[in-house]
Amino acid sequence: MKKPIVKIYLLAAITIFLYSCSQNETNETDLKASSQQFEIINVTHHDGKPFSTGTSSSSLTGKYVDNPGGGVMMQAFYWDVPAGGNWWNTVNSKLTAWSNAGIGSIWLPPASKAQNGAFSMGYDPTDYFDFGDYNQNGSVETRFGSKTELVSLITNAHTENMKVYADIVINHNSGGQSEANPFTGTNTWTDFSGIASGKFKRSYNDFYKNSYGNNDEGAFGGFPDLCHANPYVQDWLWGRADGVGKYYKNTMKFDGWRFDYVKGFGAWVVNAWNANVGGFSVGELWDSNVNVLNDWANNANSSVFDFACYYKMNDAFDGNNLALLNDDMMWKRNPYKAVTFVTNHDTDEISNKLLAYSYILTHEGYPTIFYRDYEEWLDKNKLNNLIWIHNNKATGTTSILYSDDDEYVARRNGYNGNPGLVVYINNSNTWQERWIQTNWANTQIKDFTGNSTWVPTTQADKWVKIQCPPKGYSVWSVNQ
């Protein structure tokens, strides 16, 4: 969400799978002893079972296919994308390239008509069933385009075997007319009886405070706060066949949901939506406390954006303290319900972004790529390489092999015949080398980023020496 009108939302969701890495080299033995100080931390699912993975690792058609390492999501917008009704077409034009790169899903901004019409980013929703086909709030199209263009985008994404996630804003509404409100003794902007679609009309009793109480978990920006305790609201959001959730899923063909500002209502709301509508879901719970994130994800039966990981990466990479990556994060607590990210439309604090992407794209969780990072700000070839590594090598549980202020080494332990990987991140200004223990004996490995030209062979006891460039990363796996 963004600040009132200029929202602060975050992204996400999705729950996901895994990735892996392994390593290194030479037949030297004299350096191994010093490596006994390395801290090895195993990160496993709470029930101790191995994480499942997908199947194929590449596509002959160029379309996205499920991979051993799971999926990657693209946040297909940023704050204040160009107005003028062409954004759906812009995204549509990039789908084939994204699919070829290994992107398996896209997250779209709120698609329905909002109070500011053609200028709104959608986080002030008025009519959930106006996708740019009714003349209201000053325009027919939304900021992003027409309903026809949105349907074309979703259809083409599915042709590319990509899933499409809708941003759902159900904490608050905006754009209603003034009406006398007996619960406040004043007039409130809660009359939505005149919305153009004629569906999900609302009045003062559908917003707090009302006959159901004075408030729920939280209001936002002074907007009317939707009352999910009202059976009428529940029915229109997730109950009835022509309600918001089922219309989005069954008619518009969205595959999942990113729930905005979930601090504003109970986790039971998302749980009920998921139980009645289905599809992938991820909640924007802006909190760095892993316990809060995990509790919400379990109660909502949903994925959640891993803000704990986000803030730890910011402190680790920008604060030059990679040992912070040993700390607890949502992906370590519950990788199937953790959606990881480096930046989004609301927050962009991490400076060493490629190091952060090398982290989330080699570790567990469901990683998200930000549109502007991919299309404008960073090296697309390097991101595509990391996406390929994620999809093809990042499998199995995670073991942290070493960390200090400047260096971090972790191993993905592989799964179902996939060898996994070893990722080495170096935040210092010089090349670094380190002995580490892999899962492979007498095996030649290489750096799949191409940053190192070494092609070492692991010893019989699986130890090997690897290297990493300054302010960079290397990712090692079996040379095959």
How do residues 282-322 score in pLDDT, each as one tens digit? 999 999 999 999 999 999 999 999 999 999 999 999 999 99
Asked if residue 75 is part of any domain, the answer here is yes
Report how far residue 98's alpha carbon sits from residue 350's, in angstroms, rounded to the nearest whole number. Answer: 24
| Residue closest to 322 by CA, chosen among 229, 403, 261, 203 | 403
pLDDT score of 480: 85
Q: What is the mean pLDDT of the chain?
A: 89
Once rounded to an integer, what is the mean pLDDT over residues 256-285? 98
What CATH number should be reported for the domain holding residue 352?
3.20.20.80
pLDDT band at 1 (very low <50, low <70, confident <90, very high): low
Contacts of 215 (CB under 8 A, 6+ apart): 208, 209, 225
Asked if residue 157 is part of any domain, the answer here is yes
- Are 408 and 402 within 8 A, CB to CB? yes
Q: Which residue has the higher pLDDT, 37 or 208?
A: 208
How do residues 342-375 score in pLDDT, each as one tens digit? 999 999 999 999 999 999 999 999 999 999 999 9
How do residues 439-450 score in pLDDT, each as one tens digit? 999 999 999 999
42 CB neighbour count, 10 Å cutoff: 10
Report how far residue 157's alpha carbon sits from residue 455's, in angstroms, rounded to the nearest whole number. Answer: 39
DSSP 8-state code for residue 242:
T
Asked if residue 32 is part of any domain, the answer here is no
pLDDT score of 365: 98
DSSP 8-state code for residue 123:
S
The tokens 């991919």 sit on which residue?
A: 374
How do residues 368-401 score in pLDDT, each as one tens digit? 999 999 999 999 999 999 999 999 999 999 999 9
Residue 257 scores a pLDDT above 70: yes
pLDDT band at 10 (very low <50, low <70, confident <90, very high): very low
- Are 272 and 264 within 8 A, CB to CB? no
Asked if residue 341 is part of any domain, the answer here is yes
**Side-chain-facing half-sphere of 295: CA atoms under 13 Å:** 8
Contacts of 222 (CB under 8 A, 6+ apart): 4
**C-alpha distances out from residue 356 to 178, 209, 309, 351, 442, Å:** 47, 43, 10, 9, 31
pLDDT score of 259: 98
Share of the chain above pLDDT 70, in %: 87
Task: Tell me the pairing of strands 207-208 and 73-75.
Answer: unpaired
How do residues 140-166 score in pLDDT, each as one tens digit? 999 999 999 999 999 999 999 999 999
Asked if residue 156 is part of any domain, the answer here is yes
DSSP 8-state code for residue 84:
S
pLDDT score of 22: 31
Q: How many residues does the chain have?
A: 480
pLDDT score of 34: 30
Dihedral angle sign, alpha carbons of residues 280, 285, 290, 292: negative
Q: Could you give phi then psi for residue 357, rounded to 5 degrees?
A: -65, -35
Q: Which residue has the higher pLDDT, 178 or 54?
A: 178
> Looking at the 3D structure of the chain, how many domains does it have?
1
- Tell me if the bond preceding 209 is cis, omega within 30° of 0: yes
pLDDT score of 15: 35
With both helix axes pointing from N to C terminus, report the angle between 380-393 and 87-101 in degrees, rounded to the nearest 10: 50
pLDDT band at 254 (very low <50, low <70, confident <90, very high): very high
Q: Could you give phi then psi for residue 449, rounded to 5 degrees?
A: -90, -20
Asked if residue 222 is part of any domain, the answer here is no
Residue 159, domain extent: 2-17+55-109+144-170+228-396
pLDDT score of 186: 97
- Are 38 and 308 within 8 A, CB to CB? no
**C-alpha distances out from residue 413 to 21, 327, 421, 437, Å:** 7, 20, 7, 11
Collapsing DSSP to helix, strand or coil, 8 comes out as strand
How do residues 11-27 score in pLDDT, each as one tens digit? 333 333 333 333 232 33
pLDDT band at 36 (very low <50, low <70, confident <90, very high): very low
Asked if residue 299 is part of any domain, the answer here is yes
Task: Give the amino acid at 261.
Answer: Y
